[in-house]
Amino acid sequence: MSAARAVRPVSVASFAQAQNVRRDDQRNEVEGLLPVIAEAFGAIGITKDDVDFICSGSTDYLVGGPFSFVMALDAVGVWPPRSESHVEMDGAWALYEAWVLLQEGKVDAALVYSFGRSSLGDLNEILTLQLDPYTMAPLWPDIVSLNALQARALIDAGKATEADFAAVASRSRRDALANPKAQVAGDIPVETLLEDEYVVAPLRRHALPPITDGAAAIVLAAGDKATRWSERPAWITGFDHRIETHALGARDLTASPSTAKAGEVAGVAAGPVDLAEIHAPFAHQELIVREALGLDGTVTVNPSGGALAANPIMSAGLIRIGEAASRIAAGQADRAVAHATSGPCLQQNLVCVLEGA
Amino acid sequence: MADSEVLHAAHHIEYPYSRSLGPVLSAFMTGLRDGRLLGVTASGGRIVCPPSEYDPDTGDDVGELVEVGPGGVVESWAWVSTPLRKHPLDRPFAWALIRLDGADTALLHAVDAGSPGAVATGDRVVPRFRPAGERVGSLADIEAFVPEGGAV
Amino acid sequence: MTAATADERGPVTTLATPIALDFDFTPGVAQSRFLRGLEQGKFMGQRCSVCGKVYVPSRGTCPTDGVPTTEDVELSNSGTVTTFCVVNVPFAGQSIEIPYIAAQVLLDGANLSFMGLIQELPATEVRMGLRVEAVWVPEDELAPSLASVRYFRPNGEPDADYETYKEYL
């Protein structure tokens, strides 16, 4: 295994996600998580008693109620008392925390999950609350507008065109036709997409992610468990995340130095990359991340359809890792890169390198 | 259980936060109330506006506050044809990252340009402050920026 | 650094940043069944298929075993006070007179107690083991809300033996 630094081999042993839908009206967070966690355990024939650590990612702002992550533990069953943690981040960062714990070598398996129902409130208001509360949030800029500023900066810098954004959307939703969990899929040519109305110019409807209710779970394993639970383990060989300033106007929005640095530390360039699952909720972001990771045209990007096919907030990053690992486990790829992002306009980025045997 | 049996309820929450500002943002907000814009000197002599308590790249201490603007240059913009309920303007406008004269970073604000053809990257804009008696020390003391020389 | 200003109000030292958000909340299947039960003047719980415990209200899962609770159970209108407090402190929005009794009530047949108001009893006479029954609002006022239960009152039965509720303190 090639890696930028010595790591204890940890594999993504199992992955499950909920059916991604515009609104799951029938179930609360716990009821939505239950079958996902059951599927992740069931696929490798284990129970909650086989994992030593539980870590979740979610945000209470989505549901408008406090400590939803505590109630979500009802979906696991934490008796006898369990070792557990939570991050107010996408589940990809929860996975990072679990991976770090597994690096210590004291435990061999962890359950990581994330959940969120974006349909309950207004994301254009809720996501404003992640911004600087003194100089940005009081004006209530919405997430679509901020991404439109980033897309405009890319166009003005000569790095991309609206047709490039449409090409990302067209390919993503065409690939999503093969993803049974996708929310938005279809074979629509670029020329047709370019007839879409602007939501916030220069972003047209197709360049935006859907609003999604969803959940996802991953089981991480090391040691004997990793080889026992997987015929072809998807080993994590490099893992890092980096953040930039929250001050949007102090960043070059046309580049992602935090992705580049995380990719460097994770060792993306240490070997050939077969496929990449990039967490780019807005079409233009994929172009920035590809450049930052140095991925050329030979790399298959987002065969799942990516976040343009389903964007369950707090889970869409974790799902990228699960999708990449699933393709390694299935023998469809030998070396993959998974990326997750958080914050406005790619402020914070996580890169995970996965390899087959 | 049929759809109709799962209940719904309108749920409204409010967080009536009042934030203390600290010396740098206090000066910035006081400046806005007085009708002027301030930036702060950061590493390498860079002027950061809106100012922060620390250098946004290095985390180092910042130096003196200096007046910037009031005019500036649009670095990027996005056209909102249908304003949302909490947006600063209730008619179509542009969000813009505006690098004020003398500053090295950009401020986010609304540009009241009238139509998308009236704003472009590189354009000069100036702030339209609310009347002095209505200003409280907030970025909302600037109603919007407007194209320089062609205010809407 | 000082915020020099000619304004007689002095420097601006705070910023009001009020946040108001609207949600269309859905409680899910299990909690909806509980609330629909209240609308019919009864307590509906759910039983865990692994440990057999009955939760009221149920969130659709057994928090011990992590499995769905699929068996609906109608519970008794009577229960036992497991613990209580006498509230003497007024608070904003209070709709009842102090002192009043807030108690954990373990409904007969349930394995989870929940909080209820005790009335028709002097505050000095409440005790652990007190047997109580729910008093509901008039039928035409029943709603899918805990407000359908006006309060609990003594049901006249002898106090419950400590052994019957000691697991629920």
A28 contacts C31? CB cut-off 8 A: yes
Name the residue of chain A whose CA is nearest to B25's CA: A134
**E strand intervals along A58-141:** 84-87, 109-117
DSSP string of chain B, one letter each residue: --GGGS--EEEEEEEEEEEE-HHHHHHHHHHHHHT-EEEEE-GGG-EESS--SB-TTT-PBP--EEEE-SSEEEEEEEEESS--TTSS-SS-EEEEEEEETT-SS-EEEEE--SSGGG--TT-EEEEEEPPGGG--SSGGGEEEEEETT---
Please check the confidence at residue B5 and state whether its pLDDT lies above 90.
Answer: no
Give the best residue of C59, C62, C111, C167 to mutate against chain A (max A CB count within 10 A): C59
Domain of residue A57, residue span: 10-122+211-232
Query: How do strand B37-41 and strand A53-57 relate by DSSP bridges?
Result: unpaired
Residue C165 has pLDDT above 80, yes or no: yes
Residue A47: CB atoms within 10 A of its CB come to 12
- Residue B35's identity, in one-letter code, is G
pLDDT at A285: 98
**CATH at A38:** 3.40.47.10
Are both C113 and C158 inside the same structural domain? yes
Helix (H) / strand (E) element for A290: namely: helix A283-293
Give the Cα separation of C118 and C95 in Å (integer). 14
Average pLDDT for residues B33-48, to the nearest whole number?
A: 96
pLDDT digits (tens, 9 = 90+) for B84-139: 999 999 999 999 999 999 999 999 999 999 999 999 999 999 999 999 999 999 99
Q: With a cut of 80, say whether residue A3 has pLDDT above it.
A: no
Average pLDDT over residues A4-22: 90
Q: What residues in C contact A123, CB-CB < 8 Å?
A: none
Choosing among A152, A200, A282, which should be mutated to test the B contact, i.e. which has the most B CBs within 10 A?
A152
Q: A28 vs C67: CB contact, 8 Å cut-off?
A: no
Which chain B positions have a beta carbon within 8 Å of A139's beta carbon?
A: 87-88, 108-110, 139-140
Bridge partners of residue A10, in order along the sequence: A222, A236
Give the other-Cβ count within 10 Å of A104's Cβ: 8
**Length of chain C measured in residues:** 169
Domain annotation covers residue C96: yes
pLDDT tens sequence across A96-146: 999 999 999 999 999 999 999 999 999 999 999 999 999 999 999 999 999
Confidence label for A1 from pLDDT (cuts 50, 70 and 90)? very low
User: Which of A136, A138, A149 lies nearest to residue B138, judging by beta carbons?
Assistant: A138
pLDDT at A5: 54
Q: Would C18 be classed as within a structural domain?
A: no
Cα dihedral A264→A268→A271→A274 (10° resolution):
-160
- Decide which of C16, C41, C75 is a domain's last residue: C75
Residue B1 predicted with pLDDT over 50? no
The reply to whether C163 falls in a domain is yes
- C121 falls within a domain: yes
- Can the peptide bond before residue C99 be classed as cis, meaning omega within 30 degrees of 0? yes
Residue A10 pLDDT > 70, yes or no?
yes
A148 CB within 8 Å of a chain B CB:
yes
CA of B115, closest CA in chain C: separation in Å?
A: 30
How far is the C-alpha of A219 from the C-alpha of A229, rounded, in Å? 10
Averaged over B26-39, what is the pLDDT?
A: 97
Q: Map residue C109 onto helix, strand or coil.
A: coil
Same domain, C81 and C150: yes
CB atoms within 10 A of CB A246: 18
Helices (H), A79-198: 91-103, 123-126, 143-156, 162-175, 190-193
Do C123 and C100 fall within a single domain? yes
The interface predicted TM-score (ipTM) is: 0.95
Rounded CA gap, C18 and A332, in Å? 51
Asked whether C19 and C129 are in contact (CB, 8 A), the reply is no
Q: How many domains does chain C have?
A: 2
C94 and C112 inside one domain = yes
Give bridge partners of residue C85 from the DSSP assignment: C102
Q: Is residue B151 predicted with pLDDT exceeding 60? A: no
Q: Is A93 on the interface with C (CB under 8 A)?
A: no
Q: Is residue A327 part of a domain?
A: no
Q: State whether C50 and C81 are in the same domain.
A: no
Q: Name residue B27's amino acid.
A: A
Burial class (CB in 10 A: 0-12, 13-18, 19+), A205: exposed
Q: Strand, coil or helix: what is A289?
A: helix
B107 in reach of chain A (CB within 8 A): yes
How confident is the model over A222-239, as pLDDT tens digits?
Answer: 999 999 999 999 999 999
What is the Cα–Cα distance from A228 to A123, expressed in whole angstroms? 42
Q: Give every CB contact of residue A49 below 8 A, 6+ residues apart in sequence.
A: none
For residue range A248-267, list pLDDT tens digits in order.
Answer: 999 999 999 999 999 999 99
Q: Which chains touch A (3 or more CB pairs under 8 A)?
A: B, C
pLDDT greater than 80 at residue A57: yes
pLDDT above 90 for C78: yes
Q: What is residue B56's predicted lDDT score, i.e. its pLDDT?
A: 85
Count structural domains, chain A: 1
**What number is the average pLDDT over the span A65-89?**
92
C-beta atoms of C19 and B14 within 8 A: yes
On whether both C81 and C119 belong to a single domain, the answer is yes
Polymer length in residues for chain B:
152
- Return the closest-CA partner of residue A255 out of A345, A190, A165: A345
Sign of CA dihedral A280, A285, A289, A291: positive
The rounded distance, in Å, linking the Cα atoms of C46 and C57 is 8
Rounded to two decimals, the pTM is: 0.95
Residue bearing tokens 């914050």: A343
- Of A111, C16, A323, residue with least CA distance to B19: C16
The bridge status of strand A109-117 relative to strand A10-17 is unpaired
Position A110 in a domain: yes
What confidence tier does B4 reach under pLDDT thresholds 50, 70, 90? low
Judge whether A19 lies within some domain.
yes
Q: Which residue has the higher pLDDT, A67 or B134?
A: B134
Residue C167 lies in a domain: yes
Residues A261, A302 contacting (CB under 8 angstroms): no
CA distance A70 to A151: 38
Instruction: Report the pLDDT value the prediction gives residue C2, as an integer from 0 to 100.
Output: 53
CB atoms under 10 Å from CB of C126, counted, come to: 18
Whole-number pLDDT of residue A41: 98
A259-311 per-position pLDDT tens digit = 999 999 999 999 999 999 999 999 999 999 999 999 999 999 999 999 999 99
Residues C103-156: pLDDT tens digits?
999 999 999 998 999 999 999 999 999 999 999 999 999 999 999 999 999 999
pLDDT the model gives residue A293 = 98
Do residues C121 and C86 share a domain? yes
**What interhelical angle do A283-293 and A162-175 show, nearest 10?**
90
Mean pLDDT over each residue of chain C, to the nearest integer: 92
Chains that touch C (3 or more CB pairs under 8 A): A, B
Does C120 lie in the same domain as C82? Answer: yes
Dist CA A45 CA C75 (whole Å): 36
C68 and C85 in a single domain? The answer is: no
Q: Which domain holds residue C29?
A: 25-75
- Domain check: are C57 and C123 in the same one? no
**Tokens standing for A44?**
């490798």
